[in-house]
Amino acid sequence: MKTLQHLFLGELADILDAEHRLVKALPKMAKAATCTHLQNALLDHLEETEGHVKKLELVFEAFGHKARGKTCQATVGLLAEAAEIAEEYAGSSAINAALIAAAQKVEHYEIASYGCLLEWAERLGNKKAADLLQEILNEEKSANNALTELAQTRSNDEALDVGDSEAAADAAAKKTDVLKAIHQAID
């Protein structure tokens, strides 16, 4: 019979795969952004994401298992959509708003996953794992809040500022590089 622990370890493998994919995708998304505040937010979260991979390995260890990943189809799909929207808006002043939307979809998926994993780790009585998952969950929530703040202030303002021809020209010049980078990110 499948137990809660089976479910927990399966979902842990799913989110570990998601984090590995994000480690590859976040630098490319930062490169595609033309707003320096958004670039910084994405790169800050890259550092945290690398930390999440290490913490997840410790969570596996806390359950006496070796870390393993299992293809996270949701993240594959969300990153494919991120690439699609980034390609569509490359060279446009709405690129930053598009990237924020894509990044927030990923964050919301992660917040849902870590919320469940935390709850299950507590039910399974593994305090060490629960503490680690709580730390990751807190960072995912902060990253999401930082993106919300950017969406409400700078990036969407820039997206709406169609008169910002300098930024648009700069973005257009980066377009070829960006498209290559985005395709590499989802390969």
Residues of this chain that interact with Fe ion (CB under 5 A) are 49, 52
Buried b (16+ CB within 10 A) or exposed e, 12-28: bbbbbbbbbbbeebbbb
Q: Would you say 82 and 49 are in contact if contact means Cβ atoms under 8 Å apart?
A: no
CB atoms within 10 A of CB 74: 18
Quick one: 95 or 121, whose CB is closer to Fe ion? 121
Min CB(50)–Fe ion separation in Å = 9
**Residue closest to Fe ion, measured at CB:** 52
Q: What contacts 24+ positions apart, CB below 8 Å, involve 4-8?
A: 4/120, 4/123, 4/124, 5/63, 5/124, 7/120, 8/63, 8/117, 8/120, 8/121, 8/124
Quick one: 41 or 178, whose CB is closer to Fe ion? 41
Quick one: 49 or 144, whose CB is closer to Fe ion? 49
Min CB(20)–Fe ion separation in Å = 10
Min CB(77)–Fe ion separation in Å = 17
Quick one: 31 or 52, whose CB is closer to Fe ion? 52
Min CB(48)–Fe ion separation in Å = 6
